[in-house]
Amino acid sequence: MKNTKGYVSFVLHAHLPFIHHPESEDYLEEEWLYEAISETYIPLLLNFKKLEEEKVDFRITMNFSPPLLSMLDNKLLQKRYIKYLKKHIELCEKEVQRTSYDERVNKLSHYYLDRYSNDLHVFKDIYNCNLIEAFKHFQDIGVLEIITCGATHGYFPILCINEKTIRAQIGIGVETYKKYFGKQPRGIWLPECGYVHQADKYLKEFGLEYIITESHGILYANPAPIYGTFAPISTENGIAAFGRDIESSKQVWSSVCGYPGDFNYREFYRDIGYDADYDYIKPYIAKNGVRVNTGIKYHRITSKEEGLKDYYDLQWAYDSVCKHSGHFFDSRVKQIEELSSYMEVPPIVLCPYDAELYGHWWYEGPDFLYVLFKKIFYDKGNFKLITPGEYIDQYPQMQMCSPCISSWGANGYSEVWLNESNDYAHKHLHFAGDRMVELANEFPNAKGLLKKALNQCARELLLAQSSDWLFIITHGTMVDYAKKRIKVHIGRFNKLYEQIKNNNIDEIFLKFISKQDCIFPFIDYTIYK
C-alpha cells in the first residue's frame, strides 16, 4: 500500500491461572475457563475463520499463557467443559419455554440456545476439543502471531530478589510454547506487563526478540526515547520493547469513557443466575446454593441510572459495533497522520488488552474486531495492521534505552501485588525460591523417584508464584480460594523439600499431588541451577 504511513498492532493477552481439581467438581473457579472458551476463545476463532473465508488479510498477535495452554490441553477439563455446555443448553431450553410470554426476551432465549448449541458443535465436531490447534492454524497461515508468557504468570519485579526464579519463569514459558506450537517464540508478554532489568539477560538467553510492556516503562526509559511509545526501543541485550499506546487503549478498555460502556451493549452484571426464581435456577448455580452467573443475560446497559435496564437488542448492539469500529479507524488515521509528520520511521500504535475483554467482559468485542479488520482492509487508510515481529523485521534499527521498572497494574508499579493484604505471602514465596535453587544445586543429576520429587517441587513453587493469587487477594474477590492456593502449594513444596533432604520421599503423597498439580509434564528442575 503506497500511502501507508504507519501501523496498528493488536495484542491480546489470553491468560487464566492453572485450576485443576480432579478430586471434585465443586470448584466454581474452574468455570472461569469455560466462560472464557464460550465468550472469548470460540468467538475469536469463528470471526478469524469468517475473515479467512472472506479473504480479508488481517494481522493480530495473541499470547497464550502456559497455564491456559495446559488447561486447554487437559482431557478432564475438556470433558467438564462439554458437560458445562450441555447443562447450559438444558437451561436455555427451559428458558425458551419460560419466556414465551414476551417476544423480545424469547428471541434472546432462542439466541442463547443457538449459541451454546453451536459452541458444543464447534468444540466437539469442528475442533475436536483442540482449541490450541485451531489457533495454531491461523499462525500457520500468517495472520496470527502467537507469543509466550511467564511459566505461571509470576510477577518479575518482585521475583527479582532471586533471579533464578525469573529465569525459570521465562525458560519454562518458552519450552511450553515449543511443545504446543513446534517452534521458538519470538516475543513474550511480560506477566502483568511487569518489567525489571534483571529479566533482560534471561530473555536473551532463551532466544526472545521482543517484549510487551506498559507505556511508562518506555516513556521513563533512560535515555528518553525519541519517539515515545510509537516505536520500539532496544534494551542493552538487543530485546525490542513495545509500549502500550494510551489513547487507543483508553478508547477500548474504559467502561466509563470507552466503547464497552455504550448503552446498547450487553449488561454484564444482570444475569438470570441472580434474577430468576431461586427454586427454578437452583440446579444451574453453585452446588452449595450460591447464585452465580449463567452467561444468560437479557439486558443492555441502557443507562447509568441504577436499576434502569431495558432488554438487550442484538441489532442495536451490532449498530454500535459498526459505529465504534468506524470511530476507532478514523482515530487511528488521524493519529498516524500526525505521528508520521515528524517521525523518521513509520509509527506503530500498540494496542494490548486482556483477551477476555473481548467477549467475556465486552460481549460485542469479537464482533468489533471482525468489523474493524474488514474496514481496515477495504477502506485502505494510511495505516496497516502489523504484528510486533513483522515490524522489527522491517525496521530493525532501534534506539537503545533501558526501560523503567513498571507494570500495567493500578498506579503503574507493584502495589497490586505487594500491599498490606498480601505481603505475608512474599516471605514464603522467596524462601521457597531460595530452597528450590538449593535443591537444584545439591542434586544436579537426580534420577528416578528423587528426580520426580524435585520436578514436583518446581511445579509447586511455580504454581504458588502465580500473580493471580496476589491480584485476587488485593481486589477482594474469591479471596479464600486465592489464599488457599498459595498455602497449599507452599505447603506441598515444603513437605517435599523436607522429604528430599531427609531421603524419605512419600511416594503416595507425591503421586497424589502430581495428579492434581500436573502442569508442565516436561519440566526439568535443573533450570534452577
C-alpha cell at 314: 442484538
Residue 2: band (very low, low, confident or very high) from pLDDT cuts 50, 70, 90: low
Residue 3: band (very low, low, confident or very high) from pLDDT cuts 50, 70, 90: confident
C-alpha cell at 248: 487507543
Q: Which of 183, 182, 159 is nearest to 170 (CA)?
A: 159
| Mean pLDDT score, 459-475 | 98
Output the pLDDT for position 400.
Answer: 98
Q: How far apart are CA 452 and CA 408, in angstroms?
A: 37
Output the pLDDT for position 1.
Answer: 44
Per-residue pLDDT tens digits for 130-145: 999 999 999 999 999 9
| Mean pLDDT score, 367-386 | 97
176, amino acid identity: T
Q: Burial of 259 by CB count in 10 Å (0-12 exposed, 13-18 middle, 19+ buried)?
A: buried
Q: Which of 260, 289, 292 is nearest to 275 (CA)?
A: 292
Per-residue pLDDT tens digits for 245-257: 999 988 998 767 8
What is the average pLDDT value for the chain, to the nearest integer?
Answer: 96
Q: How far apart are CA 414 and CA 159, in angstroms?
A: 11
Residue 374: band (very low, low, confident or very high) from pLDDT cuts 50, 70, 90: very high
Above pLDDT 90, what percent of the chain?
95
Q: How far apart are CA 407 and CA 414, in angstroms?
A: 7
Cis (ω within 30 of 0) for the bond into 66?
no
Where do runs of H (alpha helix) occur along 380-420?
388-394
| Mean pLDDT score, 372-387 | 97
**Residue 367 φ then ψ, to 5°:** -70, -35
Sequence-separated (6 or more) residues with CB below 8 Å from residue 62: 11, 12, 13, 14, 135, 144, 145, 146, 147, 355
Can you tell me whether residue 451 is helix, strand or coil? helix
Per-residue pLDDT tens digits for 265-316: 999 999 999 999 999 999 999 988 999 999 999 999 999 887 789 999 999 9
Per-residue pLDDT tens digits for 19-70: 999 999 889 899 999 999 999 999 999 999 999 999 999 999 999 999 999 9
| Mean pLDDT score, 374-381 | 96
Domains, the chain, ordered by start: 6-71+139-261+342-411 (3.20.110.10), 415-528 (1.20.1430.10)
